[in-house]
Structure formats: C-alpha cells, structure tokens
C-alpha cells in the first residue's frame, strides 16, 4: 500500500479547500503574450511516487491488512513496472512552450511544495503556498508544476470487500502560478482509471492489467500535455 499516496491525498484535500471549503476551480491554460522583454516560465515536477497498488476504502487497520494480503501478488508485480517516460514530462512541456516562442527554464531538481511557506494572501485562485521564493531562486516569472502522486493500480474496497476490479491508475495535478501575484494561471486535476479488457486476475504477469496500466500512463501524459498543444 502506498503510504505516500495517502499523505498526498490528505495534503491535496487540504490544499483544495478554501476558507469556506470551496474547491479550487479548473483554469484553462493561456500562454503569456510574447513581448520584446519576454517573461520566463519555469517548468518543474514534484518527486514521482513508487509504482504501487492503492486500496482506497479499506479504512480500518484490519481491513487494510486483509486487503493488502489478498492483493499481495498483484502488488509485488506492480513494483516491477516501469514509469516509462513520466520523468520526461517537464521536458516535453518545455518543448511545447518553446514552440510558442516562450522563454522556458526547466528546473532539474524535484520541488517540494509542502516545504514552501504558507501564503499570507487568501482568496479565489490564489495558491495556498507562497511560491515567490522560486521566482527569485530560478529567475522566472511563472512556474508550471506537474505533480503526480499516484501511479500503478487502484482497487477500491468497502472495508474488507473489494467493490471493483483493479484498474490502471494515474492521479495528479498540473498548475501554473504567477510568481508575482501567487495566483493560479492554469489548474488541471488529472484522474485516469483504465479497466483491463477481459480477465484481470492472471498472475504472475497480469497481461490484461498490464495493458491497462500502460494505457493509463499514455492517457495521463496526454492529459498533462494537451493544454500546451493548442
């Protein structure tokens, strides 16, 4: 079971909640206008999670233990699956932005948003963390972040009982922050689930689920990249 995923879901739930519990709305990406003195756009990613099996709904400790044992063969196989070219997403985003004539800085190291200070200003479309220090650090005016916190399979449970077959899964969030105002300029949650065609329970290689996993990866990558293709 992916403990980092549980923590990430809690963090994102807190991040999405406004003062009155209003979730952050989706915002379509609009490229900055290219001028004689173009603004620089940074592109970064958070640390990618381990490829793992998630068992949401197995809430109590005994439920989680039982579900983990029941899916142990699948989970062990999941850990052998590659992330393919997910780490290259920020490079692909940068390439698409450069084709629009924009000045782009790719941030090599993973960023840890949770370590940024909380923002003082609050309001609609304002980030809950203060990203301004990254503008100074990297010499950029805007920051695009690809934040993926789940990759692998997801099998929902109702306590001890599975409520669905496992599915290929990728979950994350793409957003852009204006580093002068700390406002979101693009905000796009990404949730992809793909079912196996035919039988899924075919150990040790799980061919149907494996295909679903790679389909989920491709759909997820497209979802992150499509806003920059227009």
Name the pTM for this structure.
0.87
Domain range annotation of the chain: 3-16+36-228
pLDDT value for 22: 81
Q: Is the pLDDT of residue 18 over 90?
A: no
| Chain segment 76-102, per-residue pLDDT in tens | 999 999 999 999 999 999 999 999 999
Model pLDDT for residues 33-45, shown as the tens digit of each residue: 776 678 999 999 9
Lowest mean pLDDT among 24-38, 136-150, 212-226: 24-38
User: Tell me, what's the pLDDT at 147?
Assistant: 98
Average pLDDT, rounded, for the chain = 91
Which pLDDT value is given to residue 36? 64
* Distance, CA of 23 to CA of 13 (rounded, Å): 9
Return the CATH class of domain 3-16+36-228.
alpha beta
**pLDDT at 223 (0 to 100):** 97
Residues 188 and 174 sit within 8 Å (Cβ to Cβ): yes
């Amino acid at each position: 079971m992916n403990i980092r995923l549980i923590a990430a879901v809690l963090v994102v739930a807190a991040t999405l909640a406004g003062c009155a519990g209003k979730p952050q709305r989706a915002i379509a990406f609009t490229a900055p206008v290219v001028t004689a003195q173009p603004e620089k756009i940074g592109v970064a990613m958070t640390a990618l999670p381990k490829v793992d099996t998630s068992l949401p709904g197995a809430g109590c400790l005994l439920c989680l233990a039982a579900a983990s044992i029941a899916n142990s063969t699948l989970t062990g196989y999941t850990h052998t699956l590659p992330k393919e070219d997910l780490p290259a997403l920020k490079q692909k985003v940068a390439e698409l932005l450069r084709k629009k004539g924009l000045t782009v800085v790719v941030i090599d190291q993973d960023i840890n948003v949770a370590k940024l200070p909380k923002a003082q200003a609050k309001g609609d479309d304002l980030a809950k963390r203060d990203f301004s220090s990254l503008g100074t650090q990297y010499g950029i005016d805007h920051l695009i972040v690809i934040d993926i916190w789940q990759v692998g399979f997801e099998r929902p449970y109702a306590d001890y009982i599975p409520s669905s077959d496992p599915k290929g899964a990728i979950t994350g969030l793409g957003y852009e922050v204006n580093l002068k105002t700390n406002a979101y300029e693009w905000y796009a949650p990404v949730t992809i689930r793909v079912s196996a065609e035919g039988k899924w329970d075919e150990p040790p290689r799980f061919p149907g689920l494996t295909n679903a996993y790679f389909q989920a990866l491709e759909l997820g990558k497209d979802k992150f990249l499509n806003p920059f293709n227009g």
